[in-house]
Structure 1
Amino acid sequence: MIWSRLIVVFLLLGLAFIPATIAKKKGRRFWVWYTYGLCILVVAIPHALLIGKTKEQKAREAGTGKDG
C-alpha cells in the first residue's frame, strides 16, 4: 500500500519536469513551472506548449543566429 503511494508521488515529481523543461526552453522560470506542474499537471503541459517565448529569449536566439 505504501509502495504504491510512493510510486505515484515519484511519478508526479518526475512528470512535473515536462512543463518546466518546455517553459525553460521558452525563457520562463523553471521552478515556477515545476511547481505549477506539480499542482495541476494536466493544465500545465498544454499551457507550456502554447505559451510564446519571452522577449529576452527571442533576443538571445536572434543574437546567436538560431531560427525561432
Structure 2
Amino acid sequence: MNRVPSAGLWPGQTDENEMGITYDHIDRYLLGEEISAEEIAKIEKLHRQSEHKRHTPPALDLPKLKKL
C-alpha cells in the first residue's frame, strides 16, 4: 500500500502540501545532503514552530493541591 501521508482532515489534504516541502527533501536535509537555502529555512522554521510538541505538558500536582 503506497498512500500519500495525510492527516486526513479534508479530502485531498497531504502532509507535503501542508508543510510546503517534500519528505524526500527533509530526508536529504537530515542526511546532510545539499538542498536549497529556502528549503533549509522552511525546515528549520517548521522545527521551531513545533517545539512545544516536544515538551511534556504541564500537569496538575494533586499531592500539593491536597495540602491546600
Q: TM-score range by the shorter chain?
A: 0.3 to 0.5
Q: Which structure carries more helix by proportion?
A: 1
Compare CA radii of gyration and give the structure with the larger one.
Answer: 2
TM-score (normalised: structure 1): 0.34
TM-score (normalised: structure 2): 0.34
